[in-house]
Homo-oligomer: A and B are copies of this chain.
Amino acid sequence: MTYCVGVLLDEGMIFASDSRTNAGIDNFAKFCKMTVFERKGERAIVLLSSGNLAGTQAIISVLTQRGEDPDNKASLWKARTMFDMANLVSDAMRDIERRDGPSLEASGISFNASFILGGQIRGEGQRLFRIHAEGNFIEAGGDTPYIQTGETKYGKPLIDRVIVGSTNLADAAKCILVSFDSTMRSSLSVGMPIDLICYERDSLEIRMRRRFAEGDTYFTSLHQSWSEGTRRVFRELPALVW
């Protein structure tokens, strides 16, 4: 499993991903699931990966290689809009599935890469997509300003209660980190380090990126403050009269 979140706010965007990768419960490791494609002042794009690691890594390598080739029309540096960028990711996914899918199926495994893609390209606004394993995708909007993948349920109520489009970046970042804390308490399939990016709208560059590893001072203080705050709110809730 995995836990990734992308949030689309008036002030900017937030991206966060865990790092746990596992093949069974007796074989787990850490891999960063966050990839940044950035040309300052021109485009700032973040891709969060979920699913089979061989698949997601191959897709990212294909995207990177196509981008390095100046003659390739499918270069991510040439995508005019985030919609075009989503299509490039989708095309790379289908290419890799075409290559690896039949061999995986022969072993009873299905190709299951999926992505959260977000960011901004000069000339248009910020956009956020969830690209399904089949390569089709949805775009976040005003009604639901965030997208989760993987182990989504533990952290969802919190996000639903706190985040709306007008939430400021600092509050939303804290909320997303607490949603990771809630998820990691309950699911061994999600683990640190957590990678976090806060993107400021129209900046066209990634200025705030941080990794929270096991024992991180800030993350620990957040965990404690939230636990204490929650218990306090409970004590202050109106009492039930029987």
Chain B nearest CB from A51 CB (Å) reads 20
B-chain residues with CB within 8 Å of residue A238 when the two chains form the complex: 218, 221-222, 225
Interface string of A225-239 (1 = CB under 8 A from B): 111011111111111
A-B residue pairs in contact (CB < 8 Å), sample of 13: A153-B153, A157-B185, A158-B230, A161-B226, A161-B230, A162-B234, A174-B237, A177-B240, A221-B238, A226-B233, A230-B230, A232-B233, A233-B233
Q: Judging by beta carbons under 8 Å apart, are A225 and B230 in contact?
A: no
Q: Judging by beta carbons under 8 Å apart, are A236 and B225 in contact?
A: yes
Known pairs A174-B240, A222-B238, A230-B230 / 8 extra A-B pairs, C-beta < 8 Å? A154-B154, A154-B157, A162-B230, A175-B234, A218-B241, A226-B237, A230-B233, A233-B233
Q: Per DSSP, are chain A's interface residues mostly helix, strand or loop, or mixed?
A: helix
Chain B nearest CB from A186 CB (Å) reads 5
Chain B nearest CB from A184 CB (Å) reads 10
Number of copies: 2
Residue of B nearest to A156 (CB): B186
Judge whether A208 is part of the interface by a CB distance below 8 angstroms: yes
Judge whether A110 is part of the interface by a CB distance below 8 angstroms: no
A155, A171, A173, A174 interface centre (most CB from chain B within 10 Å): A174
B-chain residues with CB within 8 Å of residue A162 when the two chains form the complex: 230-231, 234
Question: How far does the alpha carbon of A120 sit from the alpha carbon of B6 in the complex, in Å?
Answer: 48
Chain B nearest CB from A168 CB (Å) reads 10
A155, A161, A175, A235 interface centre (most CB from chain B within 10 Å): A161
Question: How far does the alpha carbon of A225 sit from the alpha carbon of B178 in the complex, in Å?
Answer: 20
